[in-house]
Structure 1
Amino acid sequence: MADNTSPDWMPRMPHPTLSLEQTKPFRHQLTAACLSLLLGAIGAHGWYLGRRYWYIPLMVTALAIGGTVAWKQGLDDVFPNMLILPVSAGIIEAVVLALRNPKKFDALYNPQSERHNQHGWPSVLTAVIASVAFVNISLYWLVHIIMAVYRHLGWLDLSVY
């Protein structure tokens, strides 16, 4: 016997190797866009897509919420207004992911897969909903920030006029 674990008459089977490229799950373009739209502020879409630094939006969101709670800040202060960054980035990326060419998406996130993503009405509707959400949230935050500046400068006091 050449090998202590198997007799000479038994055929030798090669040891299975596990490659990360073989075990990657198929990533759906619409799922990534929806995760970005709904949970983009915490980086859920980046985690789903297997990105290296997916946790950066989560850190910014945690800093904004933690700073708000720790220093008992109101909506006019710095930390609550930091939330506009990860929220806006997630919504913009939802539009980009929904409208990206499926071949380019598959080449980037599903290179070894035989399945392919396709465009359709769900992708377009996701992009439209994300665009409307971005406009509404951006306008709300813009008005809120302008009002905070005006209050801070005293321009909204009745005694000034």
Structure 2
Amino acid sequence: MRVISVLLLALVTAACAAQIERPQAPTGDGQTRPLARPAQDATAQERTADTLGTTTPAGRPAAAGAGGGVSLGTTVASLGDPTEAGFWLKTPLVAATSPGRVEYAGTGQAVEVELRPSGTEAGGGSQISLAAMRALGAPLTGLPELRVYRR
């Protein structure tokens, strides 16, 4: 009786598996290929610099630095948390949050930022927001040297 039950179960399982068809898409060469999986979340977007850089085109010129301020020195900055919106620089050059400006000599651009203490040792480098990095025209994967000013 056991053997018959096992064989019957195997037959039913095989019959079910044979009826499941995966969606196929025709290709130009007469063959078919499986379709790509749909996104897990229909509302999810591809996470790129364009989708994470949430500043409006009108907000970018307003952040452009006009000059002036007390020079705090230079720092090498990497891209900070791209999900943290706004124009900011986390740096060991300040002990308290204050308004400021950073300049990138590579493009000659400057941008107004909120200077935030990083809590790291002097010379430890800084982190800059995605919006500020884009406004400066700095490479997102680079380590630009920035001149920092406090307002």
TM-score by length of 2: 0.24
TM-score by length of 1: 0.23
Higher strand proportion: 2
Higher helix proportion: 1
Q: Which structure is richer in relative contact order (CA contacts within 8 A, separation 6 or more)?
A: 2
